[in-house]
Structure 1
Amino acid sequence: MTLQVLNSPFSEEQVKQLNTLLPTLNDYQKIWLTGYLSVVPATAVVPVIDTAEEVKVIATEPQSATILYGSQTGNAQSLAEKLGKELKDAGVEATVLAMSAFKTNQLKKLTNLFIITSTHGEGTPPDNAIQFHEFLYSKRAPKLESIQYSVLALGDSSYEFFCKTGADFDEQLAKLGAQRIVPRVDCDLDYDDLAAGWFENVKNALVTAAPATASQTSAITKEASSTQYSKKNPFYAEVLEKINLNGRGSNKVTYHVELSLEESGLTYAPGDSIGILPENDEQLVHLLIEALGFQQEEIVQVDEQAVPLGKVLQRKLEITVLSKPLLQKIQNFTVNSDLAELLQDDQKWKDYVYGRDLLDVVRSFGPFSWNAQQFVELLRKIPARLYSIASSQEANEEEAHLTIGKVSYETDGRDRLGVCSGQIAERIEIGQKLPIYIHANPNFKLPQDDNIPIIMIGAGTGIAPFRSFVEERAARGAEGKSWLFFGDQHFVTDFLYQTDWQGWVKDGALTNLTTAFSRDGEEKVYVQHRLQEHAKELYEWIEQGAVIYVCGDEKTMAADVDKTLHAIIAEQGAKAAEQAAEYINNLKQQQRYQRDVY
């Protein structure tokens, strides 16, 4: 930027001085200077003082901010850390903490509080946010009139209680007297753009004149110039292997998939996941467009690009998951009263959407008044599917292994497939490529100390991360004890990775292996029953410092395991129910009870 003399109100000497100064200023200095000049009266005389005194007079006290996150799979934590870095680069003193690590007696001392949280399951807080959530709703919660705050909520709009935890924090902080300085933003699974906008609003509310240091500027430049694979810029990984892990006669199909990471530079740790960007089934897309009365090659605008309808429905937009918000939008385009009647009854619409997709809606509730453009504008993008990595990079340097159960079922006489699992099972072969990225999960990690015992509890495909755990420890020669509880239907057909586990038991990498095959006896036996059978030894391991890991279905398996662990601790530790609950909460705070549930 160079100031020209022509028509300038400045003398030539002033122009020279300005042209010497302006190129040396960073963005924040320019913003500060603009604001300073806007409030200084035109007739004011700026005193001539030495540099030290000038800093005292005109420098603004740096703002401070505390960023608390509630995170189950790592998304909220990643965003919180990113916001913390951006605020620090902008001169704000930012502290980033998990809610479980924040001391609530410090709450009243805060000035600026920013909360980033996901909503877990059916409207519940993530594990590391439960206690802070309970505290804010308790009688011990203080008045917070001195605090400014804002909330970024993450969720999934296909669930009824979309972003409920974020809304809870937002509303309760306001009730306690805190002042909202940036409106809450509710993000769906495709949250990048909305989160970036919230970040900008937060920075604009807090930014000071403090300039970025040379090291910060260098870090920003380095980050901007480096190429990283991500959800928006996936790596296309070749499929090296695809094996059905279930035996003949099983009613399940579970694939072991090996992906090449060669030349990607991608790294992962045990407990991380791989995100796959799937495509819809081409045949389903054809049927949907036919039912709509549109044409495959009809052009629509999506993300400011002109794309054929068939292509965008196959590759970009979700057509298999129904939610109440989507049905409410569709209702505006039909005079069919059946849809409005369905939506008036909570139980009826929930029963209807279970196992159905957009094709069912189009066939059942027409005619519709929309055109193709209006139709696609109702739909959200296809969310990536996350799968726990089932391998250790220490043992497989340029590979990542996945365990993917095929989802298939029949509703209303039509066979259905899971979007991603169906694609893997029926349309992806060895040698083809999948668009992927690494999703780090800092809340599901092996202890840094290899001597610490670990207890792993999983069912079905929930076995995946534990294969990475044991393979990693075997590669590192770890000496800590390890105990795997694994459950599935039948020993003969559903013992996933059986030879791997038996080999690791033989080699000593896996200390104990306890299985529960629910359909092999007259009574169904699940992993929680095996936990109870080994209650005494299990409690001894926990008392010795063992870390407990649970991976699997949240509503049934993980919930039952949690109840059983409470019961074991109460029984073996001679504790009341409240004491057992406190014991469990302490384990969570110490990151000794970690869950990867879905």
Structure 2
Amino acid sequence: MKKLWFQLHWFVGITAGTILILIGLTGSILSFREELLDFLNPGVRNIAVQDAPVLTPPQIAAAAKVLHPEARIASIIIYSEPGSTARVGLAPAKGETRGEAIFLNPYTGALLPPLHYDEVFEWVDSLHRHLLLPRDAGRIALGILALCLLGLSLSGLYLRWPRRVGDWRAWLKLDFRLKGRSFLWGLHSVVGTWVMLGYVIFTLTGIYWSFDVVRSTVDGWLGVSRVVREAPAPKLPKGGKPPPVDLAASWATFEGAAPNWRMAFLRIPERATAPLQIVWTAKDAPHVRARGRMSINQQTGAMLKNEPYAQMTVGGQAQASFYALHVGSFFGMPGRIVMFLCSLALPGFAITGWMLYLNRRKQKRSAAAERKKFAAGGAVTADADPVLLAYASQTGSAERLALQSAAALQAAGVPVHVHSLEKLTPPQLVKYRRALFVASSFGEGEPPDAARRFNRLLHTAAEELQHMQYAVLALGDRNYAQFCGFGHALDARLRTMGAQALHPTIEVDNGDTGALARWSGTLHALIGGDAASAPEMALSAAVADNDYTNWRIVGRTLLNPGSVGDGLYEITLSGDPAADWRPGALADIWPGHYTPADAPLAAQTPSVPAASPGTQATLAPAVISLAPRRYSLASLPGDGVLQLLVRQVRYESASGPALGLASGWLTNDAQVGDEVRVRVIANPAFDTYTEARPSIYIGNGSGMAGLRSHLRARVQAGERRNWLIFGERQREFDSICAQEIASWRAAGMLPELDLVFSRDVTGGEYVQDRMRVRADVLRDWIADGAVLYVCGSLQGMAAGVDAALEEMIGRAALDDLIETGRYRRDVY
């Protein structure tokens, strides 16, 4: 159903949306028509206030008659505000459809300059109301467009319905850190939510005016009948003279019945025996269209009918308010400004909608080209043991990467089946022993539309997948709080069903080259060949070199000398003094002299585990595209430097022991003073919570980096209720950042502190073990609204923390922490 609504949404959007641009632009112009006319015509509708009595309508009529003795006065509009001029409408001359309108000085009756540009606004009004078509045809066309806009508004709301319905940020927050398609989607959907109520009002009132059947039905519901024109005045006998008109008596009657009038519109009938019609608004009227009506005998001044707005029925007042709702004046100037912005936003929706549509088409064409290449690569025999390569794609990016990956496997002789999750079911998964998933996330970590059915079936499936090995490549945008949310949810469910992960989920942030390089390693593991025989795996991704800036190494300190584990170094960089970042931010580092331009080059990497039982235990080093390495920032901008905590990675290569490409260069090969190419990246999923709350920081190893930046920010802000639960190997050698932690503790910034060591001679303990020991206190902190931050290794620590929390507070409560953003993780 959602896919159908999506197809209807974009089809109507790129067709009717083009015409709605005109409606929006003309509506925004007409929103302030009166103010624009006054600006373009100074001294016509308003003049300086004078210390003199204001002319009454009879005097205004007499002055107009002097100026135009041959013309009949058809209407007079006057205002009680000082300085407002009088407008006199003259009956059209013979053969014309519209009469002239003149403006008179309210104090002297002198003729004022004509009102210029009013014809332009009349043309704009006709375009807005009727598309310059004949009146009836134009009304119907506008009614159809109003229905289209109503459908776009409601279907858009349905399509972007967030997972966290109760979180206002998910509905209304526009993140300006997003880029590319993610920013366009946020602009289109979030701003659409802002203005949706305005569009509903626009469309419902427009439909009311466009279709007679709708108008008569609504009027019936409101108990209001159409205004019946007064019966024509009786004809005088041949040769008879009409009784004299006494406009002064009629005006006196009006003022006696409406002493608080603000505007009076006198319609003077052609026949002297017909009643004078006056439409008026009171000074305390709720809006400009809250008008009353009077009928007065022109000869005697006797009241024939008086219907003030305040005495109308509720239905009558509602009907009279439709126009005021449409233009926003029902809510005064703020309402008019809001409706003006809503009108002005319509072209923006058409433009962003078209851009999203064209981007989607581009991705689909690219995916189709990859599918064609894959199909040309050859067929898989029926008795082969194929790898399942499944994808969940919203725009086509995941499909394209899945097909590129499949083509690489196929070229190396590995049988592969490619399927969209749209048509896959859990029973079909059972048939495969090896599976790769390329999963996009939509919005705040939700599955793409095509994968919603599979996601629902998988979470209710009873199948066991102990025989399956799998890997997940999760595509997302790190600026979303639930970064790669669907990929992680898919990974968690597959683990629950017994499947064995080849490695932690690989997160791809907007085509991140480093993540795609690690995915290439997964593919090489499945191939099982050596680097020389393996085909090149050119997965499409690029990072612009101008996203990086030069920093200089100014310090390197080994934090755990003597440790049984690999060395953990504090790397200090100095560079751009204007650089800014939030606690929990990340940095991409290019090792050595490499730059993004070198990305296609190959580099040796550690051997990877076998992909399936029966293959060799280790493979020859795989050829992986050179890519930056990502680290958590351990400092704040106010520190004046950029600090990292880097674990030195060691592995066995064909030529013997070797260091990791980036960690080895940073911790061993580089010299103090060497330059480093750095890109600082926001990490909203691990950013500071929006409110000041108690905070619990949990981590291990190099995860101290992300925790330290948060704790430094809390200390600077004077937030005292902090709790650090941190694990390492041995207290004697691995008490990293001990002096800084001790100073926080002494200053009362760490009222709770738990440091645990897994390989101490006195007995090992992990962070999840200490959490269980202190479960009661943890529950109390969480009940007080605490936010939990977890940083460190995904395997072991992060999974153990998840399990411990689920035991302590239950799955539902843990899910609620995740949904409300109070459980934040930066794990790797």
Report TM bin, short chain: 0.5 to 0.7
Partner residue, 2:185: 84
Long gaps (5+) in structure 1 = 1-27, 37-47, 97-111, 142-151, 156-162, 170-185, 194-228, 282-301, 304-311, 325-342, 359-378, 570-579
CA distance in 1, matches of 2:815, 2:713: 28
Instruction: Say which of 430, 447, 456 aligns to 1:138.
Output: 456
CA distance in 2, matches of 1:597, 1:187: 11
In the TM superposition, 1:112-261 aligns within 5 A as 129=445, 137-138=455-456, 154=475, 191=511, 232-261=546-575
Contact 2:606 2:653 in 1 (8 A): no
Report the secondary structure of 1:446's partner residue.
coil
Change (3 A) 1:140 1:239: closer
- Deviation for aligned residue 1:590: 0.8
- Deviation for aligned residue 1:562: 0.9
Matched, 1:463 2:723: no
Contact 1:244 1:256 in 2 (8 A): yes
Contact 2:728 2:757 in 1 (8 A): yes
What do residues 71-91 of structure 1 show as CA deviations (whole Å, max 9, x unaligned)?
xxx9x9766642325755653
What do residues 112-147 of structure 1 show as CA deviations (whole Å, max 9, x unaligned)?
97699999x996988974899888633699xxxxxx
Partner residue, 1:320: 605
In the TM superposition, 1:27-426 aligns within 5 A as 50-52=126-128, 53-54=130-131, 66=159, 81-84=182-185, 91-92=351-352, 129=445, 137-138=455-456, 154=475, 191=511, 232-263=546-577, 265-279=578-592, 316-320=601-605, 346-348=612-614, 351-353=617-619, 356-358=620-622, 381-393=625-637, 395-396=638-639, 398-410=640-652, 414-426=656-668
Name the amino acid aligned to 1:530.
R
Name the amino acid aligned to 1:261.
G
Partner residue, 2:234: none
- Deviation for aligned residue 1:508: 1.8
Partner residue, 2:728: 488
CA distance in 2, matches of 1:516, 1:122: 37
Partner residue, 1:438: 680
Name the amino acid aligned to 1:588.
I
Report the secondary structure of 2:662's partner residue.
helix
Contact 1:69 1:115 in 2 (8 A): no
Contact 1:247 1:493 in 2 (8 A): yes
Matched residue count: 386
Contact 1:67 1:116 in 2 (8 A): no
Name the amino acid aligned to 1:268.
W
Report the secondary structure of 1:241's partner residue.
strand
Change (3 A) 1:82 1:518: same
CA distance in 1, matches of 2:510, 2:607: 16
Contact 2:555 2:572 in 1 (8 A): yes
Instruction: Say which of 761, 764, 783 aligns to 1:524.
Output: 764
Query: Given the two structures, how large is their TM-score scaled by the length of structure 1?
Result: 0.54
Partner residue, 1:20: none
CA distance in 2, matches of 1:590, 1:422: 39
Change (3 A) 1:526 1:134: farther
CA distance in 2, matches of 1:512, 1:552: 20
Query: Given the two structures, how large is their TM-score scaled by the length of structure 2?
Result: 0.40
CA distance in 2, matches of 1:521, 1:470: 30
Q: Which of 1 and 2 has higher RCO (CA within 8 Å, sep 6+)?
A: 1
CA distance in 2, matches of 1:582, 1:79: 35
What do residues 565-596 of structure 1 show as CA deviations (whole Å, max 9, x unaligned)?
11122xxxxxxxxxx11110001001111111
Long gaps (5+) in structure 2 = 1-13, 23-123, 133-137, 164-174, 189-347, 357-392, 403-434, 460-472, 477-483, 491-505, 514-542
Contact 1:549 1:593 in 2 (8 A): yes
Report the secondary structure of 1:383's partner residue.
coil
Matched, 1:498 2:738: yes
Contact 1:123 1:164 in 2 (8 A): no
Contact 1:274 1:438 in 2 (8 A): yes
Change (3 A) 1:154 1:249: closer
Contact 1:516 1:530 in 2 (8 A): yes
CA distance in 2, matches of 1:581, 1:115: 34
CA distance in 2, matches of 1:391, 1:446: 14
CA distance in 2, matches of 1:587, 1:252: 34
Report the secondary structure of 1:558's partner residue.
helix
CA distance in 1, matches of 2:740, 2:644: 15
Instruction: Say which of 755, 763, 766 aligns to 1:515.
Output: 755
CA distance in 1, matches of 2:563, 2:127: 83
Partner residue, 1:595: 825
Matched, 1:546 2:789: no
CA distance in 1, matches of 2:446, 2:475: 16
CA distance in 2, matches of 1:348, 1:78: 45
Larger C-alpha radius of gyration, 1 or 2? 2
Name the amino acid aligned to 1:191.
G
CA distance in 1, matches of 2:769, 2:559: 25
